């Protein structure tokens, strides 16, 4: 293994007492020999996160305050401090294969001649003994649910428009700029879009492996999904280039059933469209639930059927809220 490239690892955290220890242990056990620093940017956690991190501190592991309490700000601070040739972004909600960093470095060097400046890999989702947590895992894995993105596809290898987390050549930030701190959730999509616009490329390798622990309750998943939709809605106003067709499908579904639902009794065509829309949706929903049940058990059908519906409706509503919130904010700033 060639260890010529020095690596800085940056980890933004906030109230991650349930996950940070496992995450750090997996980082400390990396096989790559030239990790020169691990920068943990904490958004002033109010739980035991900081005390857990203190146990790992040494000449390489640093705990840094992120007083802005914004993830993009934490990432930018880490990048500014980074001394490595390569910056590897790490999410505290996951654990990482022992060769994770090695594979990031290998892949960056392997495709360097093809103008690749950011690489990543698939996330393997961790199941548990909990019925609800397993339903949430299936939601993440399903292409009908959250699993449309390439990083949900374990066997995919090739060029992509974004990756989860990412490992970057440090110099790319000096050329295209850092994360946009005004974006609360889509800062990674924005950054990767600027990478592509500048003529560089992003690559996913199936050998860059991490294991992600999804949210553990339906309330958390729905809240997270609403915020994701809200971020896309805001991007429709301020940063349209990062929005993909897949991001707008839940919005189209919600608008369809809402508009033709409230006009159902007024127009015959509304009744036809509403019935067709819901019948088509529920047919696909049930088909996907049966597919999941065949593999994992029939007991998951009721919860998955409801979860898919909640997922798409909340994402659609979030997109609408984010769109109008961004418009009102822009008008207020222009006064």
Q: How many helices (H) and strands (E) does the chain have?
A: 11, 11
pTM of the complete model: 0.85
Going through the chain in order, the beta strands assigned E by DSSP cover 7-13, 35-42, 61-65, 86-89, 94-96, 116-120, 123-125, 158-160, 167-169, 201-204, 210-212
50 within 8 A of 42, measured Cβ to Cβ: yes
| Cα angle 215-48-130, degrees, rounded to a multiple of 5 | 30
**26: closest CA among 93, 125, 85?**
93
Residues of the chain with pLDDT under 50: 1
User: Residue 68: what pLDDT?
Assistant: 93
Per-residue pLDDT tens over the stretch 63-101: 999 999 999 999 999 999 999 999 999 999 899 999 999
* Residues β-bridged to residue 64: 41
Q: Which two tokens stand for residue 321?
A: 């809220």
State in words which class domain 7-214 has.
alpha beta
Q: Which residues contact 199 (CB under 8 A, 6 or more apart)?
A: 115
User: Residue 335: what pLDDT?
Assistant: 65
User: Residue 297: what pLDDT?
Assistant: 94
User: Residue 296: what pLDDT?
Assistant: 92
User: Residue 215: what pLDDT?
Assistant: 78
Question: How far is residue 243's CA from residue 247's CA, in Å, rounded to a whole number?
Answer: 6
Per-residue pLDDT tens over the stretch 216-233: 889 999 998 999 999 899
User: Residue 146: what pLDDT?
Assistant: 82
Q: Which two tokens stand for residue 294?
A: 């065949």
Range list for CATH 3.90.550.10 in the chain = 7-214
């Amino acid at each position: 293994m060639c260890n010529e490239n020095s690596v800085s690892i940056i980890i933004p955290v906030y109230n991650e007492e349930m996950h940070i220890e496992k995450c750090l242990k997996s980082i400390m056990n990396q096989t790559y020999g030239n990790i020169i620093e691990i920068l943990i940017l904490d958004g002033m956690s109010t739980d035991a996160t900081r005390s857990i991190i203190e146990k790992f501190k040494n000449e390489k592991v640093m705990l840094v305050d992120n007083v802005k309490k914004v993830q993009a700000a934490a990432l930018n601070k880490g990048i500014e401090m980074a001394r490595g040739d390569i910056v590897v972004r790490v999410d505290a909600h996951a654990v990482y294969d022992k060769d994770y960093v090695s594979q990031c470095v290998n892949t960056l060097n392997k495709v360097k001649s093809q103008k690749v400046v950011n690489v990543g890999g698939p996330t393997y989702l961790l199941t548990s003994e909990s019925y609800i947590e397993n339903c949430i895992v299936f939601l993440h894995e399903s292409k009908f649910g959250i699993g449309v993105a390439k990083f949900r596809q374990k066997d995919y290898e090739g060029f992509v428009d974004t990756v989860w987390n990412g490992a970057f050549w440090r110099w790319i930030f000096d050329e295209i700029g850092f994360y946009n701190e005004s974006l609360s959730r889509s800062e990674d999509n924005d950054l990767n879009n600027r990478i592509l616009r500048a003529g560089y490329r992003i690559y996913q390798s199936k050998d860059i492996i991490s294991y992600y622990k999804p949210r553990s309750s339906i309330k958390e998943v729905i809240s997270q999904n609403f915020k994701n939709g809200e971020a896309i809605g805001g991007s429709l106003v301020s940063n349209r280039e990062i929005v993909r067709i897949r991001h707008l499908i839940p919005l189209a579904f919600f608008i369809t059933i809402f508009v033709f639902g409230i006009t159902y009794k007024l127009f015959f065509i509304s009744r036809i469209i509403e019935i067709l829309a819901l019948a088509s949706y529920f047919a696909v929903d049930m088909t996907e639930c049966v597919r999941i049940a065949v593999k994992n058990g029939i007991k998951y059908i009721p919860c998955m059927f409801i979860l898919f519906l909640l997922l798409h409706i909340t994402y659609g509503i979030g997109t609408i809220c984010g769109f109008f919130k961004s418009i009102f904010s822009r008008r207020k700033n222009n006064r």
